[in-house]
Structure 1
């Protein structure tokens, strides 16, 4: 968990629900010699996956698996000696996140080696590889580098962090300057979500190697302008605190993050070399910051954006017809996403203002498999 944004949950401050989770996890993790001999998850050649858990005192267990269309549940069966297991049907190539539920309480699989970077919902990650490899997989191409950068935010009065992807052959001393994509995560995510869950670095490596995307620097900042918002957990009413979060993040991005990046990294500082994109909360931030500062961003994109209901009041520059310099306004959402209705309403409003945009509706819900594919589709459109 990031140093700047830890959940601050321990045995002394946790709510009873979290203490139950911890105790149950300890019971499952306790017999480490047993856990180490259990392979889970195990990915088979046909794409099916076996999940196993040693939980001798459990009465029920299941796997909650995130897929393109949402979460599906696989019930586990108890075998001898308290071993629970289930094998899925063959899964399409993808990166999957999952949690195991034991007697109704969610835990992380003790056998998993990669974890979901999320403040509220921890889980494991595994990849079903493709043949040939999918765009989000590591392949034998030149690779860029990732920097985890901390800075002291004066606006937040605390430490904040950023992940920065540098394309192959680029470093801080590069004579070549690159366009920059500011790529924003969603609510409850941590700053590295686009790296761990989105596989943004591998996607850019592969697209650049194939000549499909221009070499670019990708900046992934922590996206919370009002940390108090996180205290509500999943109780997300679109009220003044939600608006305050996005407005304050706008100030952080424009007045702290961008100046830091342009001072310390080889980026092209012109607006036509600056793109802004994000998912869910980050999609709303991208639209709010980008459309209200068309002199700063020429390329703007949202994925499953949690858009404000009052578009006219939220996007003054659109109302004032000051967005002519924007080269790309790209709005994507899954057809099964709970935000599809508000995205369609926003698109209709843009059309009524005669704003040029591209609307993309894909199969899928509010899930990372959708957003990875969104990034694969978006990156080749930037800086052309």
Structure 2
């Protein structure tokens, strides 16, 4: 009797799902967005990169998807939107805007961007380097620690390579990897797919096994006002440039003016004085400058310049993704106490100096600085330009893929 009741109950549970699946039809050739919650069918996309949204809001007067046009009201209480042309390849933030109220789409996973939890849609690149593959996988651990400088508990994510726990006598070099403005320490873990990229590169023997530390890039003295990136102008830059824009001009929206000192805070100092010693004490690291690197995207690239160029006794390699240059190219000899003015000293100090940018985010300044460094006979300088991408996660995933194989060789 119990078995029969269980079978009957299971059938009843399954019935509505079957009926709904039969009743609902989808645009031909479309599949669910890969960031949807499990089993959720909308939003969708097709092989050409067109996107399809469907939102149930029967009492709303106006609904739209951020960085896209307004949605169309249907008779059944749903609102729909189909992109007028294929959207750009990559990972793009978005929100639902219902009668002027913006919120994350409950149909998708949420990601921290623009200083808030938002949704994402992905137009697949079609390459395996950032996908989960059948290779040995490292672990991503959460590490909490007390900061005397900020008088607060902080947390970072730490990637340890495959076999870290089994090879108990082996020590590893360390890469400190920073997020951009309006994002946090979760960015490289989820949006950036750092773990997949590292696992695949290590499995292919393209990269040395290493520890990767991803900390929160906001650090201010106790009582200082919090720095946020949630005003409309900043959002347009941080997300609008990353989102599929209708034209090139929108994709190249200039960075709004902001208090740079407050934005960067004291994180570079915190990294050197507290985070690096904490990581060396907590993990099996190789605690020498030759085995320590730092990289970051956008704001994190500026943190990287400040931390590495001011502490050359602590780091031997740096990577700046979509972070401009260390300064104006016509002042190259005076920047950071003349670090670029002495080729012999520079070439001894730096094992790798890597700069990258997207081809659609005005790369001329970064390339000009890299060219000027090479013209001065500075060695180990690498410039990478991501084709067809702007200030967005696909630029940074590709940059990490190109950067990591060059480290610790």
Equivalent residues in 2 for 1:95-174, closer than 5 Å: 95-112=91-108, 114-118=109-113, 120-127=115-122, 134-171=128-165, 174=168
Counterparts of 1:277 and 1:119, CA distance in 2: 21
Q: What TM-score does the superposition give when structure 2 sets the normalisation length?
A: 0.73
Counterpart of 2:225 (choices 199, 224, 228) is 228
CA contact (8 A) 1:300 1:328 kept: yes
Counterpart of 2:210 (choices 209, 216, 228) is 216
Counterparts of 1:371 and 1:211, CA distance in 2: 21
What root-mean-square deviation, in Å, do the aligned CA atoms of Structure 1 and Structure 2 show? 3.1
Shift of 1:60: 3.3
Closer, same or farther: CA 353–225 of 1 in aligned 2, 3 Å:
farther
Counterparts of 1:272 and 1:263, CA distance in 2: 18
The answer for unaligned runs of 5 or more in structure 1 is: 1-34, 65-71
Question: Alignment partner of 2:192: what SS?
Answer: coil
Counterparts of 1:238 and 1:315, CA distance in 2: 23
CA contact (8 A) 1:185 1:280 kept: yes
1:180 and 2:180 matched = no
1:58 and 2:60 matched = yes
Shift of 1:246: 3.7
Counterpart of 1:268 (choices 267, 273, 286) is 286
Equivalent residues in 2 for 1:10-25, closer than 5 Å: none
Counterparts of 2:39 and 2:193, CA distance in 1: 29
Corresponding pairs, count = 339
Shift of 1:233: 4.4
Counterpart of 1:361 (choices 361, 374, 385) is 385
Shift of 1:171: 3.2
Question: Alignment partner of 1:376: what SS?
Answer: helix
Moved more, 87-96 or 274-283: 87-96
The answer for unaligned runs of 5 or more in structure 2 is: 1-36, 235-254
Closer, same or farther: CA 103–347 of 1 in aligned 2, 3 Å:
farther
CA contact (8 A) 1:99 1:122 kept: no
Alignment deviations for residues 329-384 of structure 1 (CA, whole Å, 9 cap, x no partner) = 0111113226x455345446645754332222223211111111111111111111
Which residue of the partner structure matches residue 187 of structure 2?
193
Which residue of the partner structure matches residue 41 of structure 1?
43
Counterpart of 2:401 (choices 365, 376, 379) is 376
Shift of 1:228: 3.5
Counterparts of 1:74 and 1:341, CA distance in 2: 31
Moved more, 184-193 or 350-359: 350-359
Which residue of the partner structure matches residue 67 of structure 1?
none
Shift of 1:98: 2.5
Alignment deviations for residues 222-269 of structure 1 (CA, whole Å, 9 cap, x no partner) = 112336361574568767x52365462121111111001111101111
CA contact (8 A) 2:53 2:80 kept: yes
Which residue of the partner structure matches residue 7 of structure 1?
none
Counterparts of 2:101 and 2:176, CA distance in 1: 37
Question: Alignment partner of 1:371: what SS?
Answer: helix
Counterparts of 1:163 and 1:38, CA distance in 2: 29
Counterparts of 1:128 and 1:304, CA distance in 2: 21
Counterpart of 2:199 (choices 180, 186, 205) is 205
Alignment deviations for residues 254-310 of structure 1 (CA, whole Å, 9 cap, x no partner) = 111100111110111121111110000100111221122222211111011155656
Counterparts of 1:44 and 1:140, CA distance in 2: 27
Closer, same or farther: CA 44–237 of 1 in aligned 2, 3 Å:
closer
CA contact (8 A) 1:333 1:362 kept: yes
CA contact (8 A) 2:173 2:286 kept: yes
Moved more, 320-329 or 191-200: 320-329
1:301 and 2:319 matched = yes
Counterparts of 1:37 and 1:362, CA distance in 2: 33
CA contact (8 A) 2:174 2:285 kept: yes
CA contact (8 A) 1:117 1:196 kept: no
Question: Alignment partner of 2:155: what SS?
Answer: strand
CA contact (8 A) 1:40 1:50 kept: yes
Structure with higher Rg: it is 2
Counterparts of 2:338 and 2:147, CA distance in 1: 28
